[in-house]
Amino acid sequence: MIIETLRPVFNARLFVNKTVYRDEFNLDEPYDRCAHIFRIPKDVFKSGAYPVFYCSGRFLRLIEKRSPFEFDVTSVKNEAELIENSDSKTEVETTETETLSDGLTYTHYFCRDKDSLPIHIFCLDADMKKVSLHVGTPNDGYKSRFVRQTIPDMAKAAEKNGVPVIAAVNADFFDIFGDFHPAGLCVKNGKVVANASSTRPFIGIKKDGTAVLTSLSEEPGILSELYSAVSGLQLILKDGEIYDVAAGEPFGYVRHPRTAAGIRKDGSIFIVEVDGRIPDYSNGASLTDLAVFMKAHGCVRALNLDGGGSSSVYTKTDGELLLRTNPADLFRPNDKLIRKEFNCILFYPRT
């Protein structure tokens, strides 16, 4: 599609054909000063496409509609209906499970949705009495700005410092277009790396080894007890029920690659990654899909982590950390993207 009528973006306004479109929504990220989403009516363009413009102070990109899973939220009357409409009714067809170590298993689910479209889901199931969680950061360090690294490189840095990594998954949202600062609380080896006052939910390990999934707004005094913590955005399960799945927002109901972390009553941690944006291979998940899947696997709380091109799961095989998923960003959906990120979750055996 060729657009000849675009003009510069200023103060979260987009000019198309002399009409001003204001941003539809702007997630509360640390980089919200420069990142905006605009949805333009489809009749604006001769091709009939329904595009989304992603804008920042440095560039403007056009993303044509890639997903058949959007719906008109203005016709929906209540949250229950929104949630129902965003449920893809995923059914598992095949399951392959591997034991990575005592207390940690990896499972690949091949599923189909209500329209028989394929979905690949990858999970890590961790008994936190037998394994523990290390927060991977660039060079295994404590710098929180202007640093990022691929997950394999973060794992290698941790291994040099004595952490015997057996699996890894991406973690928090981060300022991908700025200084790479994480969006929420990050605690590493008992030290706060970033955002000590963040109210975003997080998953982590207390100094006594107990796994937790909470927030500083819920438990203001827990910060001094934390040994490891990484944050996400929505608490998609609370008390075993669907909680915040952003069902009325495109971020919640459009199916994307997703990553989430959940916790069960017994303190075990369940990680879910869903591949997406590759229609013939895997069609992604809504936040409702994530919540439903994690509830079915016994989670009482679950947290949506960074997704999209960041979503990835690695496992140690024959001494090498191998990528098990197929990361895909909006602009290169068919490339196996190895993105540099700010932090990740690294699992290792307890000794």
What average pLDDT does the structure give for the chain?
83
Co-location of 247 and 297 in the same domain:
yes
Co-location of 259 and 298 in the same domain:
yes
Are the CB atoms for 338 and 310 separated by under 8 Å?
no
Which amino acid type is present at position 232? Answer: G
Low-confidence ranges of the chain (pLDDT < 50): 1-15, 21-39, 45, 48-68
The Cα–Cα gap between 197 and 205 comes to: 18
Which domain covers residue 207, as residue numbers?
A: 91-349
Does residue 70 sit within a domain?
A: no
Report field, pTM of the whole predicted structure over 0.75: yes
The Cα–Cα gap between 177 and 26 comes to: 15
How many CA within 13 A on the CB side of residue 264?
15
Co-location of 125 and 200 in the same domain:
yes
How many CA within 13 A on the CB side of residue 53?
25
Co-location of 50 and 123 in the same domain:
no
Co-location of 43 and 112 in the same domain:
no
Output the pLDDT for position 76.
62
Co-location of 20 and 139 in the same domain:
no
**DSSP result, 166-206:** -EEEE---B-TTTT--BSS-EEETTEEEE-TT--S-EEEEE
Location of structure tokens 């959906």: 333
Kindly tell me the burial class for residue 20, based on how many C-beta atoms sit within 10 Å of its own C-beta (0-12, 13-18, 19 or more).
exposed
Question: What tens digit of pLDDT does each residue of 70-127 get?
Answer: 556 556 667 888 899 899 999 999 999 999 999 999 999 999 999 999 999 999 999 9
Query: Between the CA of residue 191 and those of 111, 141, 142, 151, 224, what are the distances in Å?
Result: 40, 11, 8, 21, 9
Co-location of 56 and 135 in the same domain:
no
Query: In this structure, what token pair is assigned to residue 83?
Result: 């949630």
Pick from 127, 122, 118, 116: which is nearest to 96 by CA?
Answer: 122
How many domains does the chain divide into? 2
Residues 6+ apart with CB under 8 A from 239: 300, 301
Co-location of 50 and 115 in the same domain:
no
Output the pLDDT for position 128.
97
Co-location of 112 and 200 in the same domain:
yes
Output the pLDDT for position 78.
79
3-state secondary structure of 322: strand
Does residue 310 sit within a domain?
A: yes
Question: What tens digit of pLDDT does each residue of 305-342 get?
Answer: 999 889 999 999 888 999 999 988 655 555 556 889 99
Query: In this structure, what token pair is assigned to residue 85?
Result: 């409409």
Residues 6+ apart with CB under 8 A from 337: 309, 327, 328, 329
Co-location of 235 and 303 in the same domain:
yes
Query: Between the CA of residue 148 and those of 135, 154, 309, 343, 344, what are the distances in Å?
Result: 13, 9, 15, 8, 11
DSSP state of 134: E
> End-to-end CA distance of the chain, in Å?
57
Co-location of 175 and 302 in the same domain:
yes
Angle at 248 between CA 263 and CA 16, to 5 degrees: 130
The Cα–Cα gap between 127 and 103 comes to: 5
Are the CB atoms for 136 and 151 separated by under 8 Å?
yes
Query: Between the CA of residue 172 and those of 48, 176, 202, 343, what are the distances in Å?
Result: 36, 11, 9, 7
The Cα–Cα gap between 297 and 37 comes to: 34
Range list of H helices, the chain:
79-85, 151-160, 250-253, 287-296
Query: In this structure, what token pair is assigned to residue 332?
Result: 């290169």
Co-location of 199 and 303 in the same domain:
yes
What length is written for the chain?
351
Does residue 81 sit within a domain?
A: no
The Cα–Cα gap between 52 and 50 comes to: 7
Does residue 291 sit within a domain?
A: yes
